Amino acid sequence: MLGKASARGLVGLLLVALPVSLVGWLVIWPIISAVQRTVWRASPDGAGHFDLSSYVFFFSDAYSLNNLSLTLWTTSVCAALLLVVSLPIALYLRFARGRLASYVQALAILPMFVPSVILAYALIRVLGPNGLIDLLLNAAGLPKLRTPYLTPWGPVIGLVWDNIPLTVLILLSGLGAVGNSAIEAARDVGANRRQRLWHIILPQITTSILVALSFAVLGIFSAFTLPYLLGPASPEMMGPYMQRTFRDLNDPVGAVTQAVVTFGFCIVFGLFYVRSVARNQGK
């Protein structure tokens, strides 16, 4: 009996060994090596020494701090907008039936299959200067709107659209756990729609909301293509800034420092996610 159990345990360990070692090799090790490379630097004579100068530079450089604050701004605006847009869609899909609902679902999932480069060029054609929106406004005799292209709102619009499917799917799976019976019971005792949402549905999907937001935030924080193509030249988001520092300025230490700072912010959201998953499993 005991032998069988331990053999099964061994098979289990072997099964997880591959993903765990991949994560260790491709994720954990690069993090350790990045931190190590930025704080333990080689002197010209070859000897290593403790050196925080690249971090001191980052946090005393107004240009870098501007980029960081733009990244934080973009991420929080996107997260808020995502929740505002995705929650109603998820609620609708959870409770609606029929053909229209499946069309809405297909439409909400569509961005998942559109590569971001194509999305960026499409947005330029639609929202960009003299794009589709401008043409429609002009045809209706209305004045032009100021285009979000090449301003910080360009990447916000693109990133929100790009992240709708994942957010909707996660919220939808959370809503799946909300029983019809609880909602019907609440309706029977006279709770109106808002009360049912606030007191019955939302408390049951807080974990899903947290998970959805931390996924979206992690993706948006390190976004590259959309801020690169739609955003302003300055300030930059951290993704394009890192790439530029590494490739154009030939400054790997600076780029790795920016990456470590970015990682430091992301790990906070990562911890949110891990904690909510752990708490969920503990239940």
Partner 1 sequence: MVGPLRDKTMKRRAFLISTAGTAAGLMLLPKLSFAAPGQIDWYTGSDANVLDFWTNSVKPAFEAAHPDLKLNLVNASNNAGIQAIGERAVAAMQTNTDPQADFFEQADPQLPQGGIEAGLYVNMKQAGLSNYSKLNPLAIDSDFSLPYRGSQVLLAYDTTRLSAADVPKTWDALVAWIKAHPGQFVYNRPDKGGSGGNFVRRAIHQANGLDPKLFTVGNYTEAFGNEALGKAWELLNDLAPSLYDNGAYSSGNTQSIQLLSQGVVVMTPVWSDQVLQAIAQGVLPDTTGIVQLQDLALCGGFSRCVVLGNGRNREAALKLADFVLTEAMQDAVLNELGGFPGVSWDYVSANLREKFADIIPNSIPTFPSGAWEAAVNDGWYRNVAPAIDRKS
Give residues in contact with partner 1 (CB under 8 A): 63, 66, 117, 124, 128-131, 147, 150-152, 228-229, 231-236, 244, 247-251
Closer by beta carbon to partner 1, 89 or else 238:
238
Helices 62-95 + 252-282 axis angle, to 10: 30
Q: What is the closest distance, in whole angstroms, from the C-beta atom of residue 73 to partner 1 in the complex?
A: 8
Closer by beta carbon to partner 1, 43 or else 250:
250
Q: What is the closest distance, in whole angstroms, from the C-beta atom of residue 77 to partner 1 in the complex?
A: 11
Q: What is the closest distance, in whole angstroms, from the C-beta atom of residue 243 to partner 1 in the complex?
A: 8
Q: What is the closest distance, in whole angstroms, from the C-beta atom of residue 129 to partner 1 in the complex?
A: 4
From the CB of residue 187, how many other CB atoms can be counted at a distance below 10 Å?
A: 14
Return d(Cα 276, Cα 267) in angstroms, integer: 14
Closer by beta carbon to partner 1, 159 or else 210:
159
Closer by beta carbon to partner 1, 64 or else 207:
64
Q: What Cα–Cα distance (Å) separates residue 57 from each residue in 49, 135, 194?
A: 17, 47, 50
Closer by beta carbon to partner 1, 21 or else 130:
130
Return d(Cα 164, Cα 219) in angstroms, integer: 12
Q: What is the closest distance, in whole angstroms, from the C-beta atom of residue 267 to partner 1 in the complex?
A: 27
Amino acid at 228: Y
Q: What's the helix, strand, coil split of the chain in %, to 5?
A: 80, 0, 20
The DSSP secondary structure of 175-234, one letter per residue, reads HHTS-HHHHHHHHHTT--HHHIIIIIIHHHHHHHHHHHHHHHHHHHHT--HHHHHHS-SS
Closer by beta carbon to partner 1, 71 or else 167:
71
Q: What is the closest distance, in whole angstroms, from the C-beta atom of residue 216 to partner 1 in the complex?
A: 22
DSSP 3-state of 252: helix
Range 212-221 burial, b when 16+ CB lie within 10 A, else e: bbbbbbbbbb
Picking from 139, 128, 154, the residue whose alpha carbon sits closest to that of residue 240 is 154
Closer by beta carbon to partner 1, 76 or else 130:
130
Q: What is the closest distance, in whole angstroms, from the C-beta atom of residue 65 to partner 1 in the complex?
A: 12
